[in-house]
Structure 1
Amino acid sequence: MNRIAIIDDSEINRVLFGALVGKLGLCHAELFRDPVDGLAWCLAHAPDLIVVDYMMPDMDGIEFISRLRASPGMEDVPVLMITASDDRGVRHEALRRGASDFLTKPVDHVEFSTRVRNMLALSNGRRKLADRAAWLAEEVAKATEAVHAREQELLIRMSRAAEFRDPETGAHILRMAHYSRLIAEELGLPDDDCRQIFQASPMHDIGKIGIPDHILLKPGRLTLEEFEVMKRHAQIGHELLKGSASMILQAAATIAVSHHERFDGVGYPCGVVGEAIPLYGRVVAVADVFDALTSTRPYKPAWSLDEAAAYLRDQSAAHFDPACVDAFFSRWDAVQQIHAQYRDEVGKGG
């Protein structure tokens, strides 16, 4: 049912136009003598068409159209203005303010019905296009979300590929990803950055697939020569991930090469100092080290949460970006929940 608002101070015109609208079928006319009342109704109900007289007390047709168009959502409602004036200036001003079409008094019944029918057809067509556009946007959003889900699944599976050669577990990957997102959120990073850090951080150690077993799986302390080989995993991970069109893989490449850098500049592989270290790497460094400390490894027992917390605080501004450390402890309750929720499987290192 099309709703048509008719605003005219003449009762005869209101009755006439209302009767003509009724004959069109599937149309309902709302009649208003007062343009202020008519405008208020139109703003509240968004009619399919507005028929408004030019000469009215308190508010003429041009002022009515101006106020209508200035209201959000009223930019495209078709407006048919009825005028007894042949003044081109009036018509030009009405068009400038947003009138869609005109009829001149005395109004021809056939012309009125035809204009109204045509304007409703255009209005309905525009609405269908808008609905179609909204549907397409929704479908695109669904498809995009599906792509993101598949991409995230691939990232997790690739991350766990290193797990078969590394004593770390899938639970470590989940914990440090959640810790990383907490830090990013507390730093006030945009939602897209928080999501990218969460999705990309599990790839931080993918380069370990290129480290020989006798070094990667050694239960004791590495020699200086062995540690130099181990450090290559950061660059290997970057080489594996760089150059992708995927924003997630680009972020993962940055994290892989930078999460072992230290704020004081004595980290690896490049010895970058302070805020010159990519922010994603600074965020993940805190999350990764905290989880490594609180997890069991073949070469060490797990530290308590308090011991690991003390280490992070002690190494703030040395190993870690102080802002990231502060952000981590600002969400300490959530950190403890994540630690408890994602536990290592029995029989595996953490």
Structure 2
Amino acid sequence: MMDIPGSPTILVVDDEPRNLRLMEALLIPMGYRVQLVENGEAALELLEKISPDVILLDVMMPGMDGYEVARQVKSREKTRSVPIVMVTALREVTDRVKALEAGADDFLTKPVDKTELTARVRSLVKVKAYHDHMTNYQKELEAAVERRTRDLKMAMSRLEVAALDTVYRLSMAAEYKDEDTGAHIKRMSNYSAAVARRLGVGENTCTRILHAAPMHDVGKIGIPDRILLKPGKLTPEEWVIMKQHTTMGGRILEGANSPHLRLAEIIALTHHEKWDGSGYPRGLSGRKIPLVGQIVAISDVFDALTSRRPYKDPFSYEKSFAIIREGRGTHFAPHVVDAFFAVEKQIREIKEKYQDEDPSAFVALAGL
């Protein structure tokens, strides 16, 4: 082979050494690199190592003929795009049709005319070059899209971390006046995710519940301290004002683009609704209460029962669990109560784990 760096490579396959030498003598002056092999098996073996721009293939060869070589070349992903020129003395139409069906792209008739050879090879070298260019362009485009997508995902991830941190701090601001509220929103959000998962809610939605549940009482920002922190029982007039934290929270979160905040709006509005319709603000009952509202309701009540509040000391596990059971079918959805007790071990673990007031713990909790 005559090696001309940077030049197109022509693979010549012929069982006649004189034909190989002739082709080499014709092609090298045209500026091509030439590879010569004497049979089809050797050609296929060489194609594992090189990627020619054109194959000049004799048809009538002992062993594997040109038709079979062409079929195998076109069946391989690596060589499928390489143009094949059948060099043959056969002139019958049926022979040429058979060659086309095997994968031939063009023909040269023996004895080969130099002018015809030049035209065929130059044309097909350009075809192969264009194909390679488009293939490389497609790969570069796909790589660029992949890079941009990866960069976008990283940017979105950073934005989500910032958004969740903001959410947590907004939730803390709403409940900052209560005792133990930092730990409260971490516990009740984890209770909610555990119950949702037990109910068969998809993992993405469970994660959103984990992030959205802390905003359940964001409307408390608008409740006066004299009512929010009152150690005794609220008067009917004060209770009317207190209940407004649900609709205030809904208005604060209304119209958000974030799926977490849209879910938080539903939670803020419905976590005080009761299964029997005696809850607020809308008096919804049964299945009319969104499932996420039902889930957060039981999580919020359980943590309130087991936590110290301005108006009460914490209840024991036994008393708190008993109150939840008593509320099955009245305050709480029966199937949600069942799911809650099915994960009782997790509930206890969460209660014991999240006792601190570190704001970063909530974001770390989300795995971010």
TM-based fold match above 0.5: yes
Deviates more, 1:224-233 or 1:171-180: 224-233
Q: Residue 242 of structure 2 corresponds to which residue in structure 1?
A: 230
**2:350 aligned counterpart, secondary structure:** helix
Residue 337 (1) aligns with residue 349 (2): yes
The partner residue of 1:325 within 327, 337, 354 is 337
Contact 2:209 2:263 in 1 (8 A): yes
Q: Which amino acid aligns with 1:186?
A: R
Aligned letter for 1:134? Answer: E
Give the distance between the partners of 1:188 and 1:282, measured in 2 at CA.
14
For residues 42 and 330 of structure 2, what CA distance do their matches in structure 1 show? Answer: 74
Q: TM-score, normalised by structure 1?
A: 0.73
1:314 maps onto 2:316 in alignment: no
Residue 175 of structure 1 and its aligned partner are, at CA, apart by 0.8
Q: Residue in 1 aligned with 2:84?
A: 82
In the other structure, the counterpart of 1:209 is 221
Partner secondary structure for residue 188 of structure 1? coil
Structure 1 position 60, deviation (Å): 4.0
Q: Contact (CA 8 Å) 2:219, 2:249: kept in 1 or not?
A: yes
**1:138 corresponding residue in structure 2:** 150
Q: Deviations over 1:6-31 (max 9, x none)?
A: 9999778xx999x99xx779xxxxx9
Amino acid in structure 2 at the alignment position of 1:64: S
Q: What is residue 317 of structure 2 aligned with on the other side?
A: 305
Q: Following the alignment from structure 2 to structure 1, what is the Cα–Cα distance between the partners of residues 132 and 189?
A: 55
Give the greater-gyration-radius structure (CA).
2
Structure 1, unaligned runs of 5 or more = 1-5, 26-30, 69-73, 346-350
| Residue matched to 2:193 | 181
Q: TM-score, normalised by structure 2?
A: 0.70
Structure 2 counterpart of 1:290, from 297, 302, 307: 302
Residue 75 of structure 2: which of 64, 73, 89 is its match?
64
* Matched letter for residue 292 of structure 2: Y
Aligned length, in residue pairs: 312
d(CA) in 2 for partners of 1:62 and 1:175?
A: 65
Runs of 5+ in structure 2 lacking a partner? 1-9, 60-65, 87-91, 110-116, 358-368
| Distance in 1 separating the partners of 2:40 and 2:339 | 60
Alpha-carbon displacement from aligned partner over 1:258-293 (angstroms, at most 9, x marks no partner): 000011111111110111111211111111111111
Does 2:292 correspond to 1:262?
Answer: no
Identity %: 34
Correspondence for 1:28:
none
User: Which amino acid in 2 is paired with 1:138?
Assistant: R
Once the two structures are TM-superposed, the CA of residue 145 in structure 1 deviates from its matched residue by 1.1
How far did 1:142 drift?
A: 0.7
Check conservation: 2:249, 2:269, Cα contact below 8 A.
yes
TM-aligned CA deviation for residue 123 of structure 1: 1.8
User: For 1:224 and 1:336, how far apart are their aligned partners in 2?
Assistant: 35
* Matched residue type, 1:336: R
Contact 1:234–1:257, Cα closer than 8 Å, also in 2: yes
> 1:80 aligns to what SS in structure 2?
coil
**Residues 119 and 24 from structure 1, CA distance in 2 versus in 1: closer, same or farther, beyond 3 angstroms?**
farther
